[in-house]
Amino acid sequence: MHIPDGFLDVKTAVATGVLGAAGVGVALRQAREYLPPQRVPLLGLAAAFVFAAQMINFPVAGGTSGHLVGGVLVAALLGPSVSVIVIASVLIVQCLMFADGGLTALGANIFNMGIVGGVGGWAIFHLVSRAVGGMFGRVLAAAFAGWCSTVLASVACAGQLAVSRTVGWSVALPAMAGVHMLIGVGEGLITALVLVAVGRARPELVSPRAVTETSFRPLVVYGGLIALGIALFASPFASQWPDGLDRTAEALGFAEKARAPVVPAPVPDYAMPGIHGSALATAMAGAAGTVVVFGLAWVLARALVPRSKPQ
Amino acid sequence: MSAAIEVRDLHFRYGDGRPALGGVSFSVAEGECVGLIGPNGAGKSTLLLHLNGLLPHDHDHSHDGHAHHHAHVDHHHDGQHGSVSVGGVRIGPGNLHEIRRKVGLLFQDPNDQLFCPTVFEDVAFGPQQFGVGEEQVRERVTRALGRVGLGGFEERAPHHLSIGEKRRVCLAGVLACDPSILVLDEPSSSLDPKGRRELMALLREIPLTKLIATHDLDFVVELCTRVVVLDGGAVVAEGPTVELLSDGELMLRHSLERPHVLERPHPH
Amino acid sequence: MEHDFLDRYSRMSSPVHRLPASAKLVAALAIVVFLTWVPRGEWVWLQGAAVFLLALTGLAGLPWGFVIRRLLFAELFVVGVAVMALLQPDGLRLFLFLVAKSTLCLLTMVLLANTTPFAELLRVLKAARVPALLVTTLSLMYRYMFVLLDESQRMRRARLSRTFTARQARSWRTRASVLGQLFIRSGERAERIYGAMCARGWR
């Protein structure tokens, strides 16, 4: 879900650039503090691993195939800040070496997949695996969090497209979220399967003690960045709020002046009267989908991690 | 005059408690080229890692969960005793940096050792870590690449090189540190006959003290005056190359065999 | 190395290749930002940019077939996102404009990527005071991504040669198992690299 160039306007590109850079900065500081020196090369190798993993086809019916993004997988195995650095590195290399993902969209891609998807996904993983416990809990958490991270990242992306006035919110959200609720199943499934595979060969790598990052104070910062992102990019959703980003942009001189509107005047995107109704419908569909996916994840985890026989 | 390398009663256990080395003792005189031979699992690579201070130091694995097949210094230090001395100075936590400059270690897999994005940066890595100034680094890189026959390869990317070229880059990277001792782990493995011959000629040109751990017994006959046979974590034989390697029974006893090259006239 | 085709043209020689990497990076950013700014419907700017970029591509000596293939590969994403524009009033014109704009940006990045060895871009990043840990990570990633790609291919082939059923469930589990192995091996390799770094004096 690498956003190409040309879909985000300049002010959104700058805003996401700042958010992405801030997130990576926090992650680097965390890593410097908590990563033992012998793990420094592991950052680079994990990034190479994610790159190689993203290239593997997981065939789905009809000639299409799914691919792993890997944010939650890396976070589960190596911690959230490592995941941010790894995902950011993969995105940077893909952008600069393969034109995969736009240069102006780099900040957004890092923010969406690394911070919203990676850290957000990891938070869900952590909560669920703590609540349920055991290897079963971790596999369940991996599957569910993998799905969530995909959907959340796509919602952030939709918000950015809407704020850029490239695609209206009422089109972007259902389209992006809808598609990614499907794609996310693949991500959750693959994340769980790989976690199981690693755990089978090296159980100590999937134990909670394998993650050396012990302080979660930075989660406050990550959470803050995500909240800021929501405020900036989801503001069309709460249409009573002023479009904070536009106001800021105008104040700082980023807003484009002589621009034709995305959508001709008769159907202004944010102020569309029906949006409240469709927003509620979307939210309910989302909630229902989430519950269903959690159930599927439970079934999957049970299949992969059989109940141990009582003594 | 103190030996270039002196190993005295070296013991070592892996992290999981398995014994790796049980009282290894031998020495290498300055300027000598000694071969270290033995079957798989004898402990050759583990021994070599001691000669450059990589074991048992610098691998504090108390944080990570990786199972590992190398060291783990337990708190009572009973995982390892004995000593390794280089040029008369015993290797200890205080002098690791200097030891690593003096003893150049060439790893078995060049992919692990050649980790920089370009050849120049990789060969320059060592000198930079040892505090050599920028101009001098450039000189050393050029010289080292010239010595291994890879002049002009500075801007090449490692993933475009053949394994023989990678190995030579690694050798250049080690030589650029200006060591006095070279320790090589399976230098001829994966090389085609031409690569092997070139490496052999190259090593012959380098007048440093050399210790070569290898399965390639013909290689040993061509380059080494003396051999040390390691089996089951201990030295089981040591002596002049031809004498030891011609002893068919000794060879078979330690899962080796008489090298073919001894069927013909040879340099020693 | 099987996958080095992905990095084949960045070290050729041409007037464009010879430009300093920092200049090319800044120029690419400027061009992409400019293209992003071009207001809806102002096709003349896009046409001018197209002529300029195509001329650069020719000057750089990149094979046209290769350039087209790289563009097509990324075009999927472009079209995939732009398709949403079709769902809006006046969607077709918007769709075409977006695709054209984005494709030109793609061409810019393809030009940058294939006239500038990544190692040089890394040096630019280092000079720009990008944090050392990130630059090291990027360097190691660049160095080992092809190695790991090849390793994963070999493992897959080895698995395939021992698998006789083509059932999908088995196939996903097999691939996931390959990834699991790859992760573990990557971790082990990282430890060996750490040893190699220490052996040459890293602290």
Q: Which residues fall within 8 angstroms of residue B135, CB to CB, at 6 or more apart? A: none
Residue A79, in any domain of the structure: yes
The distance of C47 to chain A (nearest Cα, Å) reads: 15
Q: Is the pLDDT of residue A276 over 60?
A: no
What local confidence, expressed as pLDDT, does residue B73 receive? 38
What local confidence, expressed as pLDDT, does residue A227 receive? 82
Chain B touched by C200 (CB under 8 Å): yes
**CATH no. for residue A51?**
1.10.1760.20
Structural domain boundaries in chain B: 5-263
Average pLDDT over residues C147-171: 79
| Residue A266 pLDDT class (50, 70, 90 cuts) | very low
Model pTM score: 0.87
Q: What percent of chain B has pLDDT over 70?
A: 88
Q: Is the pLDDT of residue A38 over 60?
A: yes
Same structural domain for residues C167 and C148? yes
pLDDT digits (tens, 9 = 90+) for B192-234: 888 899 999 999 999 999 999 998 888 999 999 999 999 988 9
> How many Cα neighbours within 13 Å face the side chain of B99?
26
Q: Which two tokens stand for residue C40?
A: 């809806």
Average pLDDT over residues C168-186: 87
Same structural domain for residues C16 and C64? yes
pLDDT digits (tens, 9 = 90+) for B114-127: 999 999 999 999 99
Q: Which residues fall within 8 angstroms of residue C167, CB to CB, at 6 or more apart? A: none
Q: Give chain A's mean pLDDT.
A: 82
**Hey, how many other C-beta atoms are within 10 angstroms of the C-beta on C120?**
19
> How many domains, chain C?
2
What residue numbers bound the domain in which A60 lies? 10-253+275-304
Same structural domain for residues C95 and C65? yes
The distance of C194 to chain B (nearest Cα, Å) reads: 9
Q: Is the pLDDT of residue B63 over 80?
A: no
Q: Is the pLDDT of residue B60 over 50?
A: no
| Residue B80 pLDDT class (50, 70, 90 cuts) | low
| Residue A289 pLDDT class (50, 70, 90 cuts) | confident
DSSP secondary structure string for all residues of A145-173: HHHHHHHHHHHHHHHHHHHTTSS-HHHHH
Which helix or strand (DSSP H or E) is residue A58 part of?
A: strand A58-59
Same structural domain for residues C91 and C7? yes
- Among residues C96, C122, C148, which one ends one of the domains? C122
What residue numbers bound the domain in which C141 lies? 131-199
CA distances from A265 to A82, A246, A271 (A): 46, 18, 11
Average pLDDT over residues C52-57: 92
> How many domains, chain A?
1
Distance, in Å, from the CA atom of A176 to the CA atom of A174, rounded to the nearest integer, reads: 6
Q: Which of A20-34, B75-89, B156-170 has the lowest mean pLDDT?
A: B75-89
Would you call C158 helix, strand, or coil by DSSP? helix
Single out the residue of B64, B111, B122, B108 nearest to residue C189, CA to CA: B111
Nearest to C200 among B49, B158, B173 (CB): B173
Q: Is the pLDDT of residue A243 over 60?
A: no
| Residue A147 pLDDT class (50, 70, 90 cuts) | very high
What local confidence, expressed as pLDDT, does residue A233 receive? 73
Nearest to C36 among A10, A25, A205 (CB): A10
B5-13/B181-185 β-pairing: unpaired
Contact call for B65 and A41, based on CB within 8 A: no
> How many Cα neighbours within 13 Å face the side chain of C71?
20
Size of interface B-C (CB pairs under 8 A): 83
What local confidence, expressed as pLDDT, does residue A215 receive? 63
- Burial of B83 per CB tally in 10 Å (0-12, 13-18, 19+): middle
- Among residues C69, C98, C122, which one ends one of the domains? C122
Higher pLDDT, A284 or C92: C92
What local confidence, expressed as pLDDT, does residue B79 receive? 55
Average pLDDT over residues C41-70: 90
| Residue A223 pLDDT class (50, 70, 90 cuts) | confident
* AA letter at C59: L
Q: Is the pLDDT of residue A119 over 50?
A: yes
Q: Which residues fall within 8 angstroms of residue B33, CB to CB, at 6 or more apart? A: B203, B209, B210, B211, B212, B223, B224, B225, B226
Q: What percent of chain A has pLDDT over 70?
A: 82
Q: Which of A3-12, A267-276, B98-107, C86-95 has the lowest mean pLDDT?
A: A267-276
Contact call for B54 and C198, based on CB within 8 A: yes
Residue A3, in any domain of the structure: no
Q: Which of A192-201, C106-115, C152-161 has the lowest mean pLDDT?
A: C152-161
Same structural domain for residues C96 and C173? no
Q: Are A101 and A4 in contact (CB under 8 A)?
A: yes
Residues of B in contact with C193 (CB under 8 A): 112, 115
Q: Which of A32, A103, A171, A190 best tests the C interface by mutation, with the highest count of C CBs <10 A?
A: A103
Residue A30, in any domain of the structure: yes
Same structural domain for residues C159 and C62? no
Residues of C in contact with B158 (CB under 8 A): 143
What local confidence, expressed as pLDDT, does residue A253 receive? 54
Distance, in Å, from the CA atom of A173 to the CA atom of A158, rounded to the nearest integer, reads: 5
What local confidence, expressed as pLDDT, does residue C164 receive? 67
The distance of C194 to chain A (nearest Cα, Å) reads: 6
Contact call for A45 and C131, based on CB within 8 A: no
Distance, in Å, from the CA atom of A214 to the CA atom of A30, rounded to the nearest integer, reads: 10
Q: Is the pLDDT of residue C70 over 70?
A: yes
**Residue carrying the six token digits 């890593």:** A31
Single out the residue of B50, B38, A56, A283 nearest to residue C171, CA to CA: A56
Q: Are B7 and B84 in contact (CB under 8 A)?
A: yes
Contact call for A205 and B63, based on CB within 8 A: no
What local confidence, expressed as pLDDT, does residue A250 receive? 54
Average pLDDT over residues B39-58: 85
Residue of chain C with shortest Cα separation from B65: C187
Residue A266, in any domain of the structure: no
Pick the CATH number of B5-263 from 3.40.470.10, 1.20.1250.20, 1.10.10.10, 3.40.50.300: 3.40.50.300
Which helix or strand (DSSP H or E) is residue A40 part of?
A: helix A40-54
**Residue carrying the six token digits 């940077």:** A92
Average pLDDT over residues B102-106: 94
* Residues forming beta bridges with residue B210, ordered by sequence position: B33, B182
**Residue carrying the six token digits 């309910």:** A284
Contact call for A204 and B63, based on CB within 8 A: no
pLDDT digits (tens, 9 = 90+) for A71-109: 999 999 999 999 999 999 999 999 999 988 899 999 999
Distance, in Å, from the CA atom of B21 to the CA atom of B28, rounded to the nearest integer, reads: 18
Q: Which residues fall within 8 angstroms of residue C177, CB to CB, at 6 or more apart? A: A193, A197, C159
B5-13/B103-106 β-pairing: unpaired
Which helix or strand (DSSP H or E) is residue B239 part of?
A: strand B234-240
Nearest to C144 among A48, A55, A98 (CB): A48
| Residue C138 pLDDT class (50, 70, 90 cuts) | very high
| Residue A251 pLDDT class (50, 70, 90 cuts) | low
A58-59/A65-66 β-pairing: antiparallel
The distance of A209 to chain C (nearest Cα, Å) reads: 16
Distance, in Å, from the CA atom of A147 to the CA atom of B252, rounded to the nearest integer, reads: 59
Contact call for C138 and A47, based on CB within 8 A: yes
Which helix or strand (DSSP H or E) is residue B9 part of?
A: strand B5-13
Where does B33-122 show beta strands of DSSP type E?
33-37, 80-86, 89-90, 103-106
B181-185/B103-106 β-pairing: parallel
Q: Is the pLDDT of residue A22 over 60?
A: yes
What local confidence, expressed as pLDDT, does residue C18 receive? 86
Same structural domain for residues C144 and C104? no
DSSP code of A309?
Answer: P
- Among residues C64, C89, C122, which one ends one of the domains? C122
Which ipTM was obtained for this model? Answer: 0.92
Chain A touched by C159 (CB under 8 Å): no
Q: Which of A286-290, B93-97, C174-178 has the lowest mean pLDDT?
A: A286-290
CA distances from A69 to A75, A121, A177, A190, C147 (A): 12, 12, 16, 10, 19
Interhelix angle for B163-175 vs B119-129, to 10°? 30
Distance, in Å, from the CA atom of A155 to the CA atom of B193, rounded to the nearest integer, reads: 59
DSSP secondary structure string for all residues of B120-171: HHHHHHHHHHTT--HHHHHHHHHHHHHHTT-TT-TT--GGGS-HHHHHHHHH
Q: Is the pLDDT of residue A234 over 50?
A: yes
Q: Is the pLDDT of residue C163 over 80?
A: no
What local confidence, expressed as pLDDT, does residue A241 receive? 38
